[in-house]
Amino acid sequence: MAGMKFDYAPAPESRAIVDLKSSYGLFIGGEFVDSRDGRPFKTISPASEEVLAEITEAGPQDVDRAVAAARSAFESTWSGMRPADRAKYLYRVARIIQERARELAVLESLDNGKPIRESRDVDIPLVAAHFFYYAGWADKLSYAGFGPDPRPLGVAGQIIPWNFPLLMLAWKIAPALAAGNTVVLKPAETTPLTALVFAEICQQAGIPPGVVNIVTGAGDTGRTLVEHPGVDKVAFTGSTEVGRMIAKSVAGTGKKVTLELGGKAANIIFDDAPIDQAVEGIVNGIFFNQGHVCCAGSRLLVQESVYDDVLASLKRRLTTLRVGDPLDKNTDIGAINSAAQLARIRELSEVGEQEGAERWSPPCELPDRGFWFPPTVFTGVSQAHRIAREEIFGPVLSVLTFRTPDEAVEKANNTPYGLSAGVWTDKGSRILSIAAQLRAGVVWANTFNRFDPSAPFGGYKESGYGREGGRHGLEAYLDV
């Protein structure tokens, strides 16, 4: 019967494949080293609050050492290496990621809280795909449209968020290395573990020491890296608030910068859309990765004439989603990444109710320990509501309606962000016309949250500037 949920026996993926150490140092100059002026902190599993490992918060001296190692590797080996040899290293990394895919998927789900189904089938395959893709560019930079002999920039300082830890690392490191730069990367404080295993993979692949350096830590470590005079390029993915601070701090320094920031995407359903497919797209758009997705379809715009049908189907579908243990292969929605993020989702959801929107969640039991939030739908949302304007970054959908295509475009563009959007309709001409009017870096048609290493990704307005992915993604790492 539609909407009925069968009882599944738990099918947890084994943790045995992961060899977690009790503590990790910093990865500088090709080795794991102790911190000189940092201090330890713990990374926990958001699904159980169990401590997974002790991590090092890098201090200014550590960051300085990492930047020096990257500079030395840039000058002595990497920038002058034959491009075809750089490509071989990147291929080797991609192959090892494939070989260690299961281990990386389990570790990502443990540290981040995302369902193993997603880390196994989406995150890690895409990580390998990015390294394969940019390996292919390493010896073809002269044909990339940036002049006959484009040069690397030097040392890249890269800062990434917690929602796709290893995938964001791949988006940053693969193009940087392909273009001949060396890197110092700082993973997010709540999800450092796969970056540290990536450091092991660099050792395994024989990447020359200092080409990749990983400094763990929180905002202070990130700020030190951004402000370091030895960094030639800053690449940041994270919140618009921190992105703004970074833009200010690098202004006038001559450092190149790319910012991939927040979003509040419209997912637009026209009355001629295939409703069942659209409902799958809505679910994927906002409940994939617990809604911790910068390009999530968090504002659903439904044409009034199909509103009742769409909402009924959507609610029916949501009653079938399983929330729980990220390592269980049946799980659709895992844990919220941190207590702080859960508090923000709760706060904005309460504001939604106070402002008069109607809140609905399917009946679902949440585990006692860990950080959890049920899939939630708000109807009766107006454009002025905070839940229609602010990024919630959680499994919360705000539903609005429209009557005409013009109204849909106007509402979709009524946001300070401009990262992504979705259009669902049977008519090709309508897809083209609406997509051309949407101020969003990516517009998906009759699909959502599709990623490919060859496709550029990035935003307009407060979603940031610069593009990652594809040929465009090389430009950010070349002196052009």
* 185/175 Cα distance (integer angstroms): 13
For ligand NAD, which is the closer residue by CB, 222 or 297? 222
Q: Active-site residue among 13, 57, 118, 260?
A: 260
Minimum separation from the CB atom of position 219 to ligand NAD (A): 3
Residue type at position 4: M
For ligand NAD, which is the closer residue by CB, 91 or 465? 465
* 79/95 Cα distance (integer angstroms): 23
- Binding residues for ligand NAD, rule: CB under 6 A, are 159-163, 186, 188-189, 218-219, 222-223, 226, 237-239, 242, 245-246, 260-263, 294, 391, 393, 419, 459, 464
For ligand NAD, which is the closer residue by CB, 173 or 310? 173
Minimum separation from the CB atom of position 214 to ligand NAD (A): 12
Minimum separation from the CB atom of position 34 to ligand NAD (A): 21
Distance, CA of 391 to chain centre? 14
* 363/365 Cα distance (integer angstroms): 7
Q: Active-site residue among 13, 108, 294, 295?
A: 294
- Please say if 294 is a catalytic residue: yes
Pairing outcome for strands 464-465 and 256-260: antiparallel
Minimum separation from the CB atom of position 299 to ligand NAD (A): 14
Are 477 and 175 spatial neighbours (Cβ–Cβ below 8 Å)?
A: yes
* 291/293 Cα distance (integer angstroms): 5
Minimum separation from the CB atom of position 31 to ligand NAD (A): 23
Q: Three-state SS across 159-207?
A: ECCCCCHHHHHHHHHHHHHHCCCEEEEECCCCCCHHHHHHHHHHHHHCC
For ligand NAD, which is the closer residue by CB, 100 or 256? 256
For ligand NAD, which is the closer residue by CB, 188 or 333? 188
* 400/23 Cα distance (integer angstroms): 48
Instruction: Enumerate residues 6+ apart whose C-beta is below 8 A from 466.
Output: 235, 257, 258, 259, 260, 458, 476
- Look-up: residue for tokens 């290293």? 89
For ligand NAD, which is the closer residue by CB, 393 or 424? 393
Sign of the alpha-carbon dihedral angle for 275, 281, 285, 288: positive
Are 146 and 475 spatial neighbours (Cβ–Cβ below 8 Å)?
A: yes
Are 399 and 407 spatial neighbours (Cβ–Cβ below 8 Å)?
A: no
Minimum separation from the CB atom of position 336 to ligand NAD (A): 12
Minimum separation from the CB atom of position 136 to ligand NAD (A): 22
List residues bridging with 23 in a β-sheet. Answer: 54
Structure-block tokens of residue 430: 């309508």
* 434/268 Cα distance (integer angstroms): 10
For ligand NAD, which is the closer residue by CB, 328 or 468? 468
For ligand NAD, which is the closer residue by CB, 27 or 78? 27
- Please say if 391 is a catalytic residue: no
Give the largest CA-CA distance in the chain: 66
Minimum separation from the CB atom of position 344 to ligand NAD (A): 9
For ligand NAD, which is the closer residue by CB, 18 or 188? 188
Name the closest residue to ligand NAD (Cβ): 222
Minimum separation from the CB atom of position 393 to ligand NAD (A): 5
* 240/223 Cα distance (integer angstroms): 15
Residues annotated catalytic, as ranges: 260, 294
